[in-house]
């Protein structure tokens, strides 16, 4: 709803938006708790009586002992823990299928058995495909023998020509001479033995023929281990699915009986994340396998189904799986093609498919749903492969995800979320302040450009820049920031604002001066930079009526900075905003300027309780001078009754000020 702003001359002004409470206000920065006149050298308050220093933190070896015990249990108990872990993870993988079947059959047991049967059929089918393809490839290898020999000879010639040069060649020659000298006594002992035409002693080793019982025993001994582990995993998975609700209740009772809500939320979070991750990863891997199969059909590599299935399975191994699949297929291509064209085509196919899947599909499908940082995935793969071998590498990502979920919901394990999760350890305002103290404005600008692709510059100032400056003000009040750091923050803030400004606000390279900020006020410095680029009056004097927005600060350093930021924000909306001070008002308007050129006049105050008397002293002359302008107060505090009575509108954030200005100037007729 809009209302007509009453004018002091009795006329009705333009309709403007009614006052509303903004979502983010400058009052949230608690500027009123800071010194009221920061433009002068502030005498810091006397420090409070020093309290006794905190006792030094004692080193507790219990944490290291507990960690060592856990690592020992994981390592020495892997024979038991690995099958159980695989069973639990597989149960999470087929849990969505169990839930769908349960809706159909209305019973848990048939749903679980049906899902397990489907899984067994799929696994058996994949195994049959792999075995048949391997047998077919083994049968076709003899026809590639000549190509393989030629490739090996080429590789051997190239290797020998480069390796057997210089010092390496001399070393190998010396080793050959020593081997010949060592074999001389052996030849001497065999002088009496019968020799062949080439001088070699004929030796023939005939193995003993195995009985059928021994053949069967050897076969069972070779497959018993994997078959036994698979059976254990299958049985445990079935019972986990059957007792899903009971096991969840038992774990909740064991781990969080005192806080059922939080524990239930943690279990639901972990289950949803893991199920979503498994299903999404399975879909991506199957898609990659199909794409590889189609590509292999186009380039003409035999046994494409085998390489597609291997690619699908090996992609579950983080990072290295796809390289293993590509390398194996490349060996086959080298054996099939007498040249090297097929090898390079295959490697290009794998590179293109993996690039599209890893950089295009996966980030959109489940890029941040796991909540893991890329570095934590790599470290987890190394750690779990060290603890549990190849199986640990396969389950490293799900196990690490469980640790991150535990860190998010259990206070004592919150360090796991910080170390392994993808949630930023510092907020954007804290990162701004930390980089500003280090003088790293390039990193701040890069992060700001990323933020500004989705949000406005006004929101950036409200949510990031001003809270970061508030952190600096708080540290300054606590005497915990050095003068050098304070100067670094001022310089960095000035450079960042200059980089983020519009072309009209950004000074050219000819008008730039040194990067060191010499002025006491950042706002004054930024205003001077704009004046060097745009002129003394910050733009042309003769403009269409109702096209200018005057922004007037009441004198403090923070007033100057907020006023300058407001000017730059309005200029990003193609509004001709100009920054004036109270001293500028006393100098009179520039020659040729008209009072009806101003459509909005902002009065900016960081400390309205202390500064509003100065505002009231200039309001009457300003209203007589700018009779058609809407007077807006931009305050850092909350509601201020005197401002509400004296002004047409009161705003508390840059976003609200920008919205009001956009509405006002959109109604101004073009000239």
SS (H, E, C) 451-507: HHCCCCHHHHHHHHHHHHHHHHHHHHHCCCCCHHHHHHHHHHHHHHHHHHCCCCCCC
264-269: long-range contacts at Cβ-Cβ below 8 A with a sequence spacing of 24 or more?
A: 265/409, 266/405, 266/406, 266/408, 266/409, 266/410, 269/405, 269/408, 269/409
Residue 160's pLDDT is 59
Query: Contact, 315 vs 285, CB < 8 A?
Result: yes
Query: Contact, 366 vs 281, CB < 8 A?
Result: yes
Residue 202's pLDDT is 62
**Residue-level length of the chain:** 671
Q: What is the pLDDT of residues 442-462, one digit of tens each?
A: 888 888 888 888 888 889 988
Residue 294's pLDDT is 93
pTM above 0.85, yes or no: no
CA–CA gap between residue 323 and residue 329 (Å, rounded): 10
CA–CA gap between residue 554 and residue 563 (Å, rounded): 9
Residue 646's SS3 state is: helix
Parallel, antiparallel or unpaired: strands 2-6 and 12-17: antiparallel
CA–CA gap between residue 219 and residue 226 (Å, rounded): 12
Residue 220's pLDDT is 67
| All CATH 3.40.50.2300 domain ranges in the chain, comma separated | 1-34+540-671
Residue 192's pLDDT is 53
CA–CA gap between residue 491 and residue 497 (Å, rounded): 10
CA–CA gap between residue 112 and residue 61 (Å, rounded): 46
C-alpha angle with apex 327: 325 to 329, nearest 5 degrees?
A: 70
Query: Contact, 276 vs 405, CB < 8 A?
Result: no
Q: Minimal CA–CA distance to 307: which of 315, 361, 340, 121? A: 315
Residue 292's pLDDT is 92
Residue 528's pLDDT is 83
Structure tokens at 170: 């001399």
Residue 641's pLDDT is 80
Q: What is the DSSP letter of 478?
A: T
Residue 28's pLDDT is 42
Query: Which parts of the chain have pLDDT scores under 70?
Result: 1-63, 155-210, 212-216, 218-225, 255-259, 363-371, 412, 422-424, 501-520, 592, 637-639, 667-671
Query: Contact, 549 vs 577, CB < 8 A?
Result: yes
Residue 291's pLDDT is 92
Q: What is the DSSP letter of 52?
A: P
Residue 159's pLDDT is 61
Residue 617's pLDDT is 85
Residue 33's pLDDT is 38
CA–CA gap between residue 205 and residue 182 (Å, rounded): 25
Query: Contact, 286 vs 292, CB < 8 A?
Result: no
User: Which residues face 631 on adjacent strands?
Assistant: 601
Residue that the structure tokens 């009754």 belong to: 641
Structure tokens at 582: 């109270």
CA–CA gap between residue 608 and residue 123 (Å, rounded): 73
CA–CA gap between residue 191 and residue 204 (Å, rounded): 19
What CATH class is the domain 1-34+540-671? alpha beta
Residue 199's pLDDT is 55
CA–CA gap between residue 319 and residue 366 (Å, rounded): 16
Residue 7's pLDDT is 43
């Amino acid at each position: 709803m809009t209302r007509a702003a009453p004018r002091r001359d009795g006329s009705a002004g333009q309709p403007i938006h009614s006052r509303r409470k903004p979502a983010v206000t400058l009052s949230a920065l608690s500027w009123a708790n800071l010194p009221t006149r920061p433009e002068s050298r502030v005498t810091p308050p006397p420090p409070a009586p020093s309290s006794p220093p905190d006792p030094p933190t004692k080193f507790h070896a219990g944490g290291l002992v507990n960690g060592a015990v856990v690592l020992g249990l994981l390592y020495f108990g892997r024979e038991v823990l690995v099958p159980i872990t695989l069973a639990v993870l597989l149960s999470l993988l087929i849990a969505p299928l169990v839930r769908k079947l349960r809706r159909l059959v209305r019973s848990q047991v048939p749903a679980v058995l049906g899902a397990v049967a489907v899984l067994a059929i799929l696994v058996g089918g994949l195994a049959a495909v792999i075995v048949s393809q391997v047998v077919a490839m083994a049968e076709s290898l003899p026809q590639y023998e000549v190509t393989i020999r030629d490739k090996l000879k080429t590789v051997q010639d190239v290797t020998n020509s480069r390796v057997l040069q210089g010092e390496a060649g001399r070393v190998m020659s010396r080793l050959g001479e020593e081997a010949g000298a060592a074999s001389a006594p052996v030849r001497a002992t065999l002088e009496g033995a019968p020799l062949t035409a080439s001088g070699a002693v004929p030796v023939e080793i005939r193995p003993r023929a195995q009985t059928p019982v021994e053949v069967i025993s050897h076969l069972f001994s070779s497959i018993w281990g994997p078959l036994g582990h698979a059976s254990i995993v299958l049985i445990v998975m079935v019972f986990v699915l059957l007792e899903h609700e009971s096991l969840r209740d038992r774990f909740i009772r064991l781990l969080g009986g005192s806080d059922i809500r939080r524990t239930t939320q943690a279990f639901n979070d972990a289950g949803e994340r893991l199920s979503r991750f498994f299903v999404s990863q399975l879909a991506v891997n199957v898609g990659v396998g199909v794409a590889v199969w189609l590509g292999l059909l186009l380039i003409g590599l035999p046994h494409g189904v085998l390489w597609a299935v291997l690619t699908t399975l090996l992609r579950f191994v983080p990072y290295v799986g796809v390289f293993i699949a590509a390398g194996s297929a490349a060996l086959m291509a080298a054996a099939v093609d007498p040249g090297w064209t097929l090898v390079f085509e295959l490697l290009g196919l794998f590179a293109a498919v993996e690039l599209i899947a890893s950089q295009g599909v996966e980030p959109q499908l489940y890029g941040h749903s796991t909540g893991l940082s890329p570095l934590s995935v790599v470290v987890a793969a190394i750690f779990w492969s060290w603890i549990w071998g190849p199986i640990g590498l396969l389950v490293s990502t799900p196990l690490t995800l469980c640790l991150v979920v535990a860190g998010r919901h259990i206070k004592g394990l919150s360090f796991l979320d910080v170390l392994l999760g993808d949630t930023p350890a510092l907020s954007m305002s804290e990162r701004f302040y930390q980089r500003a103290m280090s003088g790293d404005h390039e990193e701040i600008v890069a992060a700001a450009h990323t933020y500004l692709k989705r949000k406005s510059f006004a929101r950036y100032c409200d949510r990031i820049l001003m809270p970061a400056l508030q952190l600096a003000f708080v540290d300054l009040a606590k005497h915990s920031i050095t003068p050098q750091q304070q100067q670094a923050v001022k310089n960095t803030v000035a450079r960042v604002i200059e980089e983020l400004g519009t072309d009209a606000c950004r000074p050219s390279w000819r008008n730039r001066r040194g990067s060191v900020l010499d002025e006491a006020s950042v706002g004054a410095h930024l205003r001077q930079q704009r004046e060097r680029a745009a002129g003394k009056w910050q733009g042309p004097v003769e403009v269409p009526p109702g096209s200018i927005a005057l922004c007037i600060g009441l004198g403090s350093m923070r007033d100057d900075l907020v006023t300058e930021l407001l000017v730059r924000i309005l200029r990003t909306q193609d509004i001709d905003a100009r920054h004036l001070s109270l001293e500028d008002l006393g100098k009179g308007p520039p020659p040729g300027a008209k009072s009806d050129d101003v459509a909005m006049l902002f009065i900016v105050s960081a400390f309205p309780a202390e500064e509003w008397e100065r505002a009231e002293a200039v309001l009457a002359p300003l209203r007589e001078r700018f009779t058609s302008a809407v007077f807006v107060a931009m305050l850092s505090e909350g509601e201020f009754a005197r401002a509400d009575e004296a002004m047409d509108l009161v705003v508390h954030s840059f976003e609200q000020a920008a919205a009001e200005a956009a509405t006002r100037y959109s109604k101004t007729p073009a000239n």
